[in-house]
Amino acid sequence: MLKKLLGIAPKLESDGSYSPSKLALKMSVSGKTDFESISHPKIKGQRSKILVIFTEQKNLKMKNGSYFSTGNHPVEALLPMLHLKNAGFEFEIATPTGKPVVFEMWAFPEQDEHVKSIYKEFQNNFENPLKLSDFIATSLDHSESYAAVFIPGGHGAMIGIPEDKNVAKILRWAHQKDVFTITLCHGPGAFLSTTLDDQEFLYKGYNMAVFPDSMDNQTPMFGYLPGKMTFGVSETLKSLGVNLMNSKMDKTVCADRGVITGASPLASNELGKLAVKTLLEKFN
């Protein structure tokens, strides 16, 4: 009751999950983003397609048994897409089984016309995505058409995707075929899929910006998460040999070989700019 009065109690949703408290939303969600509407040079080469792998899952289980109402963070998904779209890249939207994309709509920047516009433009694709097995069956032999695989963050990226063998197959394909991998925040959790079936971790020795576990450990105190996480993304990746480039939830971005990463939602705009610059330098 005291937590409710103080505005730090997570909000109970109709399905029994919890979304962030009033205080957490006030601290972490803004009506507008820092998106910069830049006139980027356009992709001229053949590699103009980007596969975007979204989560179709909503509820992430915490250590205490409660569920966090999550999905893909809209800013982390849509700001990089805005920059890439402005540079002439095209998107193929996919989820693991072809179920609709799930967004953290409580994090949607309702006053940001740029974000609202691209969300509306691709809403039908979000509601009717490809399934990864179909992408694998039809597109892996056409790597010459693809510039990147993009895996947005949001805690939903930790539900199923790190255990998905099709995600692992696509990441290995990208690694072998000079297709870039772009991700941020909790999205790098997808890289854990490359260890399935006792395979060697694909990114040992890579520099990456990743959401820090230390921040996830703090957020239950003000009601962002309804409990502690079952495991931490950044420390798990570090234990596998990743070099972490940030220790805070900040705007850090990093490009190392074929991998482009960002630290948090705050890095979404910078990640989009870095992704465009890196892809154009490689493929134009």
pLDDT for residue 6: 56
Residues 223 and 26: their CA atoms lie apart, in Å, by 11
Residues β-bridged to residue 151: 183
Q: Which of 52, 170, 185, 190 is catalytic?
A: 185
pLDDT for residue 2: 47
pLDDT for residue 3: 58
Return the SS3 of 179.
coil
pLDDT for residue 4: 58
Q: Are 101 and 93 in contact (CB under 8 A)?
A: yes
Query: How high does pLDDT run on average in the chain?
Result: 96
pLDDT for residue 7: 65
User: Which segments in the chain show pLDDT lower than 70?
Assistant: 1-7
Q: Which CATH number is associated with domain 46-283?
A: 3.40.50.880
Domain-wise residue ranges, the chain:
46-283
* 254 part of the active site: no
pTM, full prediction:
0.97
pLDDT for residue 236: 98
pLDDT for residue 8: 83
For 2, 12, 31, 40, 247, the CA distances from 111, given in Å and listed in that order, are: 32, 25, 5, 24, 30
Residues 11 and 49: their CA atoms lie apart, in Å, by 39
